[in-house]
Chain A
Amino acid sequence: MSLTNEIIKQKVEEKFGESVKAFSEESFGLLTFEVESAKVIDLMRYLRDDETLRFNFLTTMCGVHYPDNDLNRQFAVVYHMHNWLDNLRIRFKTYLNGENPEVESATKVFLTANWMEREAYDFYGITFTGHPDLRRILNMDEMVSHPLRKEFPMEDGGRTDKDDRYFGREPQNSNLN
């Protein structure tokens, strides 16, 4: 019998009980649900090793910042997994605390998570405990702030050549006023 979303939902709920919630399929038939940050790695290992589920591929993993959520739901880490044998994808998210976003590292389960987690750390400051070498990967090592957070401006604040008033923004860096 081919794998369907209901079977996955039923097996995951029966294995993890109340730590998985908010199942939904309105994202174009792709089963999406939430999981507690403590249970992420066990869930991932279970999805990979279970004979009927067989999610053998971690497609991608990224951080998301929700500044106006309440404190312990301000950061989310979204995992996409893909079952190549039955061609089914799932997406599960885990919400993390705003001040100190921390989740267990998935490098023990999939080697591909190594750089993905370093990128999430670099962009959002989410620390992955147990990561072999958690450093900044894309930005300069001397950079202290985490640029993809919503409050971080896109343009480089220190530039002098572009006067913000011509771009319809308040004169942040123009020294003419």
Chain B
Amino acid sequence: MAENIKMVEAPEGFSGEGFFATSVDKVVGLARSKSLWPLPFATSCCGIEFMATMAPHYDLARFGSERPSFSPRQADMLLVMGTIAKKMAPVLRQVYEQMAEPRWVISVGACACSGGVFDTYSVLQGIDKVIPVDVYVPGCPPRPEQILDGIMKLQELVRTEPMKRRDSPEYKALLASYGINVI
């Protein structure tokens, strides 16, 4: 009976008589990847697709993201969904900077990834001009399955991320390239 239930496989490690040893990175990564709290930065049409993703049919809660947090303080994953106009860019940057490390960004939808169909004077052509992005989800709007796929890709990223990445010089250089200087 139980063969069709997909259990989370334990990280590779050295197991002996009644004990199991593995590196802290793997355990922390596993814990983080299964409990990503989203900040639904839902601006336009993709926001409605996100509501469909949260609704019981496609249920984002199966991936541990049950609780959306609208304040950046408790959010791990910034889901930028929908068009980001130039008037909205400073707000997006402020929300990103106020999120606690480690933080990840998924840009959902063509408008967030690259300005999408709106190549106009008032639309920011892609949020990676303002904040670093981890996963891009294409589509206008992406189907809920695509959003879930993007979140699963991010979970893979989170699971295998070393603990020291956030202090590494490359990451600091990445942030500095966006003008975010963290002491």
Contacts and interface: CB of A to CB of B under 8 A. Distances in A.
Interface of A: 138-140, 147, 152-157, 159, 161-162
B87 A156 contact: no
A139 B44 CA distance: 17
Interface core residue of A138, A154, A157, A159 (most chain B CB under 10 Å): A159
Contact of B121 (A147, A161, A162): A147
Given A139-B87, A140-B87, A154 B120 contact: yes
Contact of A147 (B87, B119, B122): B122
A155 B86 contact: no
Given A139-B87, A154-B121, A155-B121, 13 more contacts: A139-B122, A140-B86, A140-B122, A147-B121, A147-B122, A154-B119, A155-B120, A156-B120, A156-B121, A156-B125, A157-B121, A161-B114, A161-B126
Interface of B: 86-87, 114, 119-123, 125-126
Contacts of A153: 121
A161 B125 CA distance: 9
14 contacts: A139-B87, A140-B86, A140-B122, A147-B121, A152-B121, A154-B121, A156-B120, A156-B122, A156-B125, A161-B114, A161-B125, A161-B126, A162-B119, A162-B125
B86 to A, nearest CB: 6
A155 B120 CA distance: 4
B111 to A, nearest CB: 14
A139 B114 CA distance: 20
B129 to A, nearest CB: 9
B87 A155 contact: no
A154 to B, nearest CB: 6
A156 B125 CA distance: 9
A147 B123 CA distance: 13
B121 to A, nearest CB: 5
Contacts of B121: 147, 152-157
Contacts of A161: 114, 125-126
Contacts of B87: 139-140
A123 to B, nearest CB: 11
A157 B119 CA distance: 10
B63 to A, nearest CB: 32
A98 B90 CA distance: 35
B134 to A, nearest CB: 20
B82 to A, nearest CB: 16
Contacts of A157: 121
B14 to A, nearest CB: 49
Interface core residue of B114, B121, B122 (most chain A CB under 10 Å): B121
Contacts of B120: 154-156
